[in-house]
Amino acid sequence: MVEGEVEGRVKMINNSDDRMSELKAFDDTKSGVKGLVDGGVTKIPALFQHPLDKFPNASKTEHTMIPVIDLEGVAKDPITRQQVVSRIKEASETWGFFQVLNHGIPESVLEEMKEGIRRFFEQDIEVKKQVYTRDDMKPFVYNSNFDLYSSPALNWRDSFSCQLAPEPPKPQDLPEVCRDILLEYGTNVTKLGITLFELFSESLNLHSNYLRDMELGITEQIRCAGHYYPPCPEPELAIGTTKHSDASFLTVLLQDHIGGLQILHNDKWIDVRPVPGTLVVNIGDLLQLITNDRFKSVQHRVLANLIGPRVSFACFMGSSVKPSSKLFGPIKELLSEDSPPKYKETTAAEYVAYFCAKGLGIPVLEHFRI
C-alpha cells in the first residue's frame, strides 16, 4: 500500500482475488483515468502496471519515418492517381501504416475535432457520468478501458465511441460539447473513406468500386473513438494503449502534437511522429484477411506521457457493433493455385465481437487462419 494518496485512487493490490473488486471500484467511479489524475494520484495503481515489452525502440537516428502520401490531385489527374496508388500499395505491403496529406478534411475541422474531444473529457464530471456505460449498443458510449474486465493491465486512457456512418448519429444522442463537430467530421471522413477504398481497390488491381460494392457497403460503416490520454506520473510503468492491431478494414486516425504512437516494424518500435495537418491511415485485420495477407495489419501502441493530455480520434472503417450476417473471406480475384485462401470466412460483427471479448493485445487474426 502506498501511503498518502488522495481519495478515489485504486489501491495497489496484487492479489488476484481482490483484482475484480478493484476493477469494479475503478469502474464505479465513472471518472476514468482522468478522475485519478484530477484526484492527484502520484503513483500509478497496480491495475495499470504494465509488463515490459520485449521489442526495443528504434534509434532516433535511423531513417524510420512511415511514408507520407500526398493525395493532392488524385481525383483529377490520372498520372498522379497512378503514382498515389502505387505508393499506397507499397506502404500497405511493407508498413501497414502511412500518413496522408491533402486528404480533403479542412485543417479547421481537424483542430475543432481535437478541441471537441478535450471539451468532452474536461466537462463537469456529473454531466460526463450520465453517458458512462459498457453497453456498446447505446448510441454514445463513454468509459475507460473498453476491455476493463478482460485485459491483463489497464491503459492510461479514457475513450468515447459512437457509430458515425452509414447513417449519421442523431444529434440528440451526442453530447452537446462535441455534437456539431462529430457530425461535421463524420461527413468529411465518410468522403475520405470512399476515396481511400477506391485507391485501395486500384492498388490491388481491382475495379475502383470493388471494396465499396463488396459486402453490401460494409466498408461504409464507420465506428469512431475519441481517446483522451491524461498525463501520467510514472509513464515508464504504464501504457497509453496496449499493442494491438485494429479490427477494422481501415483506420483513419487524427492525433495531436504530443506523440507516443508507435508501430512495430521489423521487430522494433517506430514513432509515428505527428505531422500537422496529416491523418494516419492504417490497414486493419479485416483488410489483411480479405487481401489474403497481401496488405499488413500492423501492431501499434501508444506510450503513456508525462506532459499530456494527448487526444486522438480514430475512425474504424468497416466496423460496426451491429450484427450482420454477411460473410466475407479472401477476395476470389486475389487467389490462385499458388496462393490459396489463408483465412476462413467470417462476418465483421463476429470478428469485432471476438476482438472485444479477448481484449486489446490478443492477436485475433490468427483465430481465423485456416
CA pair distance 276, 251, nearest whole angstrom? 18
Find out whether 146 and 203 touch, Cβ atoms under 8 Å.
no
Which residue's CB comes closest to ligand OGA? 312
Q: Identify what 189 binds: ligand OGA, Ni ion, none; CB under 5 to 8 Å per kind.
A: none
Query: Toward Ni ion, which CB reaches closer, 85 or 270?
Result: 270
Query: Toward Ni ion, which CB reaches closer, 97 or 140?
Result: 97
- Kindly state whether residue 246 participates in binding Ni ion, applying the rule CB under 5 A: yes
Binding positions for ligand OGA, rule: CB under 6 A: 225, 227, 241, 246, 253, 255, 261, 300, 302, 312, 314
Q: What value, to the nearest 5°, has the Cα angle with vertex 55 and ends 53 and 58?
A: 130
Q: Identify what 5 binds: ligand OGA, Ni ion, none; CB under 5 to 8 Å per kind.
A: none
Report the run of H or E that residue 252 belongs to, with start and end: strand 250-255
Torsion of CA 87, 89, 91, 95, to 10 degrees: -170
Which residue's CB comes closest to Ni ion? 246
Q: Identify what 302 binds: Ni ion, ligand OGA, none; CB under 5 to 8 Å per kind.
A: ligand OGA
Query: Min. distance of Cβ 14 from Ni ion in angstroms?
Result: 29
Query: Min. distance of Cβ 73 from ligand OGA in angstroms?
Result: 28
Query: Min. distance of Cβ 306 from Ni ion in angstroms?
Result: 22
Torsion of CA 23, 28, 30, 35, to 10 degrees: -60
Burial class (CB in 10 A: 0-12, 13-18, 19+), 103: buried
CA pair distance 54, 301, nearest whole angstrom? 13
Q: Identify what 165 binds: ligand OGA, Ni ion, none; CB under 5 to 8 Å per kind.
A: none
Query: Min. distance of Cβ 317 from ligand OGA in angstroms?
Result: 12
The footprint of Ni ion (CB under 5 A) covers: 246
